[in-house]
Amino acid sequence: MKEMELKTNLGTEIDFNGLAEKEIELTGMIQNLRVLAWGAFLILRTPRYTIQTVIDANNINIPPSELKVESVVKIRGIVKTAKIKDKAISPADHEIHVSHIDVISAPTLEAMPVDTTKKEMNLGLDTKFDLRPLTLRHTRERAIFRIAATICMEFGNYLDSIGFTRINSPKIVFAGAEGGANVFKLEYFERNAFLAQSPQFYKQMMVGVFGRVFEIGPVFRAEEHDTSRHLNEYISLDFEMGFIDSFYDLIQVEANLLRAIIARIAKDCAAEVALLGITLPKLEKVVTVKFSEVHEIIFNEYKKDYRNEKDLAPEEEKLISEYALKNWDTEFLFVTHYPTVKRPFYAMEDPENPEETLSFDLLFRGMEITTGGQRLHLLDTYLTKMKKLGMDPEAFESYLQAFRYGMPPHGGLGLGLERLTAMFCGLANIKEASLFPRDQKRLTP
């Protein structure tokens, strides 16, 4: 029997100011190596930092020329203050003067198939994704996904702070929550099942348990879209809340949630924001406009006639976003009251106009990043709506069970992580905001 001492200091954050002129030992991977006559600059990639180290060729146990990029090394040296201009290096105000290096492992091949030491890789998307385990090591790629991770973290932190409970719903389901044919079918023992399009049914059920719930998880859409706006698997940030007075309560929560996310990125990802050269948005006011009004604005201002369409075209989303920024001084626009025919069966219709729903999309920099709204909560309205649409209520009995025994007025939304990350980071294609994107052609790596 061996009893281990429990370590409590397992973090990766380093107080470089407190360690100035003191010795430090770090393990990481060589991000870049520039060998000079007097020694070398070695950039060390650690879980949290990309640190500049300085090697004196006359005061080191291994000649710098024998080191290889992407080797795992343990270094020991003295922390020194510095003024580093390279935005890919963080911290920029400290470096380490190395006295000893241990090589733990080294690449088995002489050269990487892609040069991750350059400031820009300048690769086509297919090449970038084919070599994803390697291209993700580039500092700019790491910055994108550090921001994505921060979005996820603050999404949960903020909702937890206002009384939401995190849930984890199944991804193998009996029916598609959104309807339509864009579901992936799979064999589930001796019957058919589907990959979840959203956690919609389950988060509604859980409103009857906790009142306010959220989930972060993958969803699957069998859509034959090969565009810069679509993925067949993406991460959905969902919440559902009960005891609401109207769907505007949801808009209030999302606006404050996004403000918290933006503030967290500014605080925790300042180096990544600077490296990517991006400008974080401000959400200082909440602006809503009705779906029908968007059509009229686009027609009157841009002479584009979409007035008979039941959804917003990508061009409309871009144009109304430009209009909102110019005329209403906002990069976030909530478009409300989408047509009933374009919303799922559980969407609540507007009592004043049953042709419209109490629902909304959130547009950000020309892209729809959120769909949400108030849901039906009375059993009779569900049964009436489902029969009107030719749906068999018995096929949804496990879902309707929650409504047979009482549910509060409620609603919720889904926020696409990749779309939000892409818009924050100025990416032209949301696939670049997915670690390992899945589309019609890609199942690897």
Residue 113 lies in a domain: no
Q: Shortest CA distance to 44 belongs to which of 108, 83, 89?
A: 89
Q: pTM of this prediction?
A: 0.94
> Which residues of the chain have a pLDDT value below 50?
none
Tell me, yes or no, whether 101 and 162 share the same domain: no
Tell me, yes or no, whether 259 and 345 share the same domain: yes
Tell me, yes or no, whether 334 and 233 share the same domain: yes
Residue 190 lies in a domain: yes
Tell me, yes or no, whether 283 and 414 share the same domain: yes
Tell me, yes or no, whether 87 and 184 share the same domain: no
- Residue 119 to residue 115: CA distance in whole angstroms: 10
State the pLDDT at residue 180. 62
Pairing of strands 72-81, 367-374: unpaired
Let me know how long the chain is: 445
- Please give the residue range of the domain that contains residue 347: 139-433
State the pLDDT at residue 274. 96
State the pLDDT at residue 224. 84
Buried b / exposed e along 367-396 (16+ C-beta atoms within 10 A): bbbbbbbbbbbebeebeebbeeeebeeeeb
State the pLDDT at residue 230. 87
Residue 122 lies in a domain: no
Residue 11 lies in a domain: no
Name the DSSP class of 91.
Answer: S
Q: How many domains does the chain have?
A: 2
Question: In this predicted model, what pLDDT tens digit does every residue of 205-245 receive, in sequence order?
Answer: 999 999 999 999 999 999 887 888 889 999 999 999 999 99
State the pLDDT at residue 335. 98
State the pLDDT at residue 178. 61
Structure tokens at 29: 């991977």
State the pLDDT at residue 179. 59
State the pLDDT at residue 108. 87
State the pLDDT at residue 177. 62
CB 75 within 8 A of CB 65: no
Q: Which H helix or E strand runs over 98?
A: strand 94-105
Residue 5 lies in a domain: no
* Residue with token string 């686009």: 298
Tell me, yes or no, whether 77 and 223 share the same domain: no
Contacts of 434 (CB under 8 A, 6+ apart): 231, 234, 418
For the chain, helix (H) and strand (E) counts, in that order, are: 11, 18
Tell me, yes or no, whether 63 and 180 share the same domain: no
Tell me, yes or no, whether 211 and 355 share the same domain: yes
CB 240 within 8 A of CB 412: yes
- Residue 342 to residue 359: CA distance in whole angstroms: 11
Tell me, yes or no, whether 370 and 311 share the same domain: yes
State the pLDDT at residue 62. 95
Q: Any idea what the CATH number is for the domain that residue 424 is in?
A: 3.30.930.10
Tell me, yes or no, whether 101 and 210 share the same domain: no
State the pLDDT at residue 313. 93
Residue 252 lies in a domain: yes
Tell me, yes or no, whether 76 and 153 share the same domain: no
State the pLDDT at residue 3. 93
Tell me, yes or no, whether 205 and 92 share the same domain: no
Residue 274 lies in a domain: yes
Q: Any idea what the CATH number is for the domain that residue 65 is in?
A: 2.40.50.140
- Residue 399 to residue 265: CA distance in whole angstroms: 38
